[in-house]
């Protein structure tokens, strides 16, 4: 891990809820912080009885939701010019394209899935939702639901694999990979069903 990661992890024992809350907030604004490792580590400290579970969960969820809301607000205020500037970076441009596609095709479900299943796209989905003036109520409700799964998943794995963060990280990645595959299969099945109905309607 980098020196920054080591420094952040060192904050968890003494500043657990604050460190996790700030990290989830920044990650939802596309700031590259090792938030998954932080939540896994915090879960391990919860398992050891060194940190209260409710404080860690509340801090992580509050930070994530606040970050989502900030990203939505920035997108709403900055609009398309902001997205155009961000899109000049090839990597960010790819993530923005995926975010736009999910928003156009899936709407609320896209917001929900980008909180946890496709989390690297999440911050850019926030900007896109704000710039297109997507319903704030729907954004908030589906965002909170998705963030609750994200936070719960990583803290639970950290708790279950206390003392072995690498194993917890690998397991979380494997589970998310499986879920992503299942989601892709369900999406393809839904598309195929709609296509077959359309073909029958033409007959």
Q: What is the pLDDT of residues 145-170, one digit of tens each?
A: 999 999 998 898 888 877 566 655 66
pTM above 0.75, yes or no: yes
All residues at 6 or more sequence positions from 122 whose CB lies less than 8 Å from its CB, including other chains: 28, 68, 114, 115
Token pair for residue 17? 């809820």
Closest CA to 155 of 1, 5, 27, 36: 36
| pLDDT at residue 185 in the model | 54
Pair 115, 150: CB distance under 8 Å: yes
Longest dimension (CA), the chain: 68
Q: Which residues of the chain have pLDDT under 70?
A: 1-5, 163-203
190, 104, 60, 183: CA torsion to nearest 10: 20
Pair 87, 98: CB distance under 8 Å: no
| pLDDT at residue 188 in the model | 44
| pLDDT at residue 82 in the model | 82
Residue keyed to tokens 């409710």: 54
| pLDDT at residue 145 in the model | 94
49: three-class secondary structure by DSSP: coil
Pair 121, 114: CB distance under 8 Å: yes
| pLDDT at residue 170 in the model | 62
| pLDDT at residue 124 in the model | 93
| pLDDT at residue 134 in the model | 92
Token pair for residue 24? 């989830």
| pLDDT at residue 169 in the model | 61
């Amino acid at each position: 891990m980098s020196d920054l990661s080591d420094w952040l992890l060192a904050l968890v024992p003494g500043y657990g809820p604050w460190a996790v809350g700030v990290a989830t907030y920044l990650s939802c604004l596309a700031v590259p912080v090792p938030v998954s490792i932080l939540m896994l580590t915090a879960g391990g400290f919860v398992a050891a009885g060194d940190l209260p579970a409710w404080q860690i969960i509340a801090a992580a969820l509050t930070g994530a939701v606040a970050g989502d809301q900030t990203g939505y607000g920035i997108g709403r205020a900055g609009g398309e010019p902001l997205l155009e500037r961000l899109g000049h970076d090839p990597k960010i441009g790819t993530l923005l394209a995926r975010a736009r596609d999910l928003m156009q095709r899936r709407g609320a479900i896209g917001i929900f899935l980008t909180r946890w299943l496709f989390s690297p796209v999440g911050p850019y989905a926030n900007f896109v939702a704000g710039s297109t003036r997507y319903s704030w109520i729907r954004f908030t409700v589906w965002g909170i639901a998705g963030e609750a799964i994200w936070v719960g998943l990583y803290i639970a794995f950290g708790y279950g694999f206390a003392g072995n963060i690498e194993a917890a990280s690998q397991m979380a990645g494997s589970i998310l990979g499986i879920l992503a595959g299942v989601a892709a299969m369900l999406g393809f099945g839904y598309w195929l069903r709609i296509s077959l109905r359309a073909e029958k309607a033409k007959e």
